Amino acid sequence: MSIDIKKIDNFYKSATLSFKKKPTEMTALEFALIYQINQKYHSKDLIQSAVSPDDVINEETLLIMMEYINLVPVKMNKNIAENILNKNKELVSLLAKNKEDSLTIALQKTNNIYDLVNKLALFKKNGLFKVAYDFSSEKFSVIPTELTKSLI
């Protein structure tokens, strides 16, 4: 589940999904892009004037993704969580250690900051970690849940 920001598949299709999907059914990156597109173009007919994802992806995208993490509810499903853990075992194990430099090392092991934040949202959504971003201190809190501890 790696994201190459320069080559998001079906960018326009992803943008038009905003009119069909609930925010909880999207990834953090999809949510941020769609939110920004809707703010910029205000209409699904005008979305075609967006040339590429690069028109939209910027620092604001990351801030929206972090806000999405704070707001997204947890949908606990042990089978899905176990599947996600198995696909991201190295990253989950690293984050579960909960050391001061875990996020820095995790960033080095993912494609980019957007990929890492997207995975953190996925982990939170599925009950693997308690994830929050404090905008005042500009710090992430990533704490493994009992489910994660039992699966590792």
Q: What is the pLDDT of residues 60-119, one digit of tens each?
A: 888 888 988 998 889 888 999 999 999 999 999 999 998 888 999 999 998 888 899 999
Separation of alpha carbons 134 and 73, rounded Å: 17
DSSP string computed for 74-137: P---HHHHHHHHHHTHHHHHHHHT--TTHHHHHHHHSSSHHHHHHHHHHHHHTTSEEEEEETTT
Q: What is the pLDDT of residues 45-65, one digit of tens each?
A: 555 555 555 666 778 888 888
Separation of alpha carbons 54 and 70, rounded Å: 25
Both structure tokens of 61: 């995208």
Residue partners of 5: CB distance under 8 A and separation at least 6: 53, 57, 111, 112, 114
Residue with tokens 């994830």: 131
Q: Which amino acid is at 9?
A: D
CB atoms within 10 A of CB 140: 17
Between 4-8, 104-108, 130-134, 143-147, the lowest mean confidence (pLDDT) is in 4-8
Q: Where are the domains of the chain?
A: 5-68, 75-151
Q: Which amino acid is at 107?
A: L
Q: pTM to 2 decimals?
A: 0.76
Q: Report helix, strand or coil for 118.
A: helix
